[in-house]
Amino acid sequence: MSKLELTNETVEVVRKELAFQGHFRVTRYFFRHGLHQGGQSDIISREVFERGQAGAVLPYDPGRDEVVLIRQFRAGAYVAGHHPFTWETVAGIIEDGETAEAMVRREAVEESGLTITDIWPIQNIMLTPGACSEACRIFLGRANTENAGGIFGLEAEGENIFVKVLPFSEAFAMVERNEVDNAVTVVALQWLALRRDEVRRRWS
């Protein structure tokens, strides 16, 4: 399949300034970009929420055909009018000098008590590209779910995480019932729905 040719998709950063610095940072950028019909745009300003780059892993036991989801309070979901506790994959922010793979293995232990053995890359997605610089590298992680479950998280970081083992069929049914509204988790479960037979063959 040939790659779609797109021309004049250039961007120039004219200047930037700090708009807010708290637990997270907001930077105000001034851009000029190429126009699809040719030429350049006027200078536009956009505030960008910057919190680093993220990674996520969906723990999966191919022998038991089970996944592990976590559930915790999310302020953004509450403010948006969604249920304040959301079903999610294990996830976190990649630290300086750390690979995404190393981070999700670390977070799997902290957030779910699970050791991830094999890693299968799923996708690298932008979460809110119009307003946030964060991208998330999503993985499937092989894990033993036999004794999984319980309450995890780092108390020092205010984490209180409920860990639940689910048959894949039930987890995917939750997506279809719109009970999972975390985008990364939906992507991971839908990807596994398409590739599950292949994953189970390779990880048998």
Q: Encode pLDDT of 134-166 as tens digits.
A: 999 999 999 999 999 999 988 887 789 999 999
Q: What is the pTM of this model?
A: 0.91
Per the domain annotation, does 152 fall within a domain?
yes
For 67-83, what is each residue's pLDDT tens digit?
999 999 999 999 999 99
- What's the confidence (pLDDT) of residue 56? 98
Structural domain includes residue 5: no
| Residue 6: its H or E element | none
- CB count within 10 Å of CB 3 equals 5
144 & 160 share domain:
yes
Parallel, antiparallel, or unpaired for β 135-142 and 44-50? unpaired
| Structural domain total, the chain | 2
Name the residue range of residue 19's domain. 11-50
Residue 4 lies in a domain: no
- 1 pLDDT higher than 60: no
Pairing of strands 54-61, 66-73: antiparallel
Look at residue 13 and tell me whether its pLDDT is greater than 60: yes
- What's the pLDDT score for residue 175? 97
Are 154 and 193 in a shared domain?
A: yes
The residues assigned a catalytic role are 157
Whether 81 is in a domain gets the answer: yes
Q: How many CB atoms lie within 10 A of CB 28?
A: 14
Sort 1 into a burial class: Cβ within 10 Å, 0-12 / 13-18 / 19+.
Answer: exposed
Region for 167 from its dihedrals, namely left if φ exceeds 0, alpha if ψ lies in -120 to 50, beta otherwise: beta
CATH number at residue 85: 3.90.79.10
Q: Is residue 41 assigned to a domain?
A: yes
87 and 27: one domain?
no
| DSSP state at residue 42 | P
